[in-house]
A and B are shown apart, each in its own frame.
Chain A
Amino acid sequence: MEIKVDSFKFLPRIIAAFYRMSDRQPEHPIPWTPLPRPLAECRFGLVTSGGLYHRGVEPPFDLERERREPTWGDPTYRTLPADIRQAEVGASHLHINTRDVLEDVDILLPIHRFQELAAGGRIGGLASRAYSFMGYQGYPADTSAWQEDYGPRVAAELDAEGVDCVLLTPA
């Protein structure tokens, strides 16, 4: 028997109430890129919206502006090298407790698990850089900058690295 995931299980009731009011319908057609070859030959890219950044190399997400304008969220992205050390991982996200991801980045951005998968031959390889967005895009959410600007830019960077497949992990 299949278990059905309860989308509202971990949501505070007030947010769940607002979400349930949504009458959004998917825009068709849903994009589709068939898997080009077996996974053992595919190069992977990792993208999270956990608000992660490379500490000391790139700035955190703009949480100061979000504090001033609570219905706005930073739409930019950060890059993290696949060989980043845990101590170099920063997290700026006001909607989750970042304690655990600062202990172990793999719970959101599984760079070490994917290196193991590549070493074991389950996948063809891992891109040298991973990408992080910060998931909160305001209320009501405005994802136009993601769709028109930052998303296509990340796609182009992944493509330039010869990536075929992407695992997306929201916060």
Chain B
Amino acid sequence: MPVLARTLEAAGLSTVLVTNMPFWAEKVGVPRTLALEFPFGHLLGQPYDAAQQMRVIGQALEVLETAHAPGAIVHSPETWPVPQKEAMKDWQPLVPSPVMEVLASRALEMMRQSRRRQKPGF
């Protein structure tokens, strides 16, 4: 989504991205970002909590109004009201996404290679 922010901004639109991963906003170079620590799939809040959603949207609109240079990242003070362990479980799909298996085997291979490198060679 950070690249879409850039694409739309370059096409003449003023954009603001709401994200829980300012890491990527910074690396990709997003014009305006509101960063907040909400779980994936719930970037504006919890279902039926219109007040919470409106607070986050209000903060995003303020970023739009106050950012004066590209690459602006504002961190929201909002906190997710559900305990971390529960929140982690809640946002994830019931069945792991197909790519997880690919990543797991690549990670295993990388670990094997780094172990091999650590062995003293003759």
| Contact assessment for A7 and B98 in the assembled complex, using a CB-CB cutoff below 8 Å | no
> What are the residues of chain A within 8 A of B29 when measuring CB–CB?
26-28, 30
Distance (Å) between the CB of B83 and the closest chain A CB? 12
Complex CA gap A50/B1 in Å reads 10
Distance (Å) between the CB of B54 and the closest chain A CB? 6
Known: A15-B103, A106-B53, A170-B17. A30 touches B31 (CB 8 A): yes
> What are the residues of chain A within 8 A of B101 when measuring CB–CB?
70
| Contact assessment for A166 and B98 in the assembled complex, using a CB-CB cutoff below 8 Å | no
Complex CA gap A17/B18 in Å reads 23
* Residue ranges of A at the interface with B (Cβ–Cβ < 8 Å): 2-10, 12, 14-15, 17-19, 22, 24-36, 39, 42, 45, 47, 49-50, 66-67, 70-71, 93-98, 100-101, 103-104, 106-108, 110, 112-114, 116-117, 122-123, 133, 135-136, 138-139, 143, 146-147, 151-152, 154-156, 158-159, 163-171
12 more contacts with CB within 8 A, not counting A107-B44, A155-B13, are: A10-B87, A14-B107, A28-B29, A33-B10, A34-B14, A39-B64, A101-B47, A112-B50, A123-B61, A167-B60, A168-B18, A171-B41
* 30 CB < 8 A contacts A-B: A8-B23, A18-B103, A18-B106, A25-B27, A31-B31, A32-B9, A42-B14, A45-B13, A50-B41, A96-B92, A97-B91, A97-B92, A100-B41, A101-B47, A106-B44, A107-B42, A107-B44, A107-B46, A117-B61, A146-B3, A146-B7, A151-B4, A158-B8, A159-B11, A164-B13, A165-B64, A166-B13, A166-B16, A167-B60, A171-B40
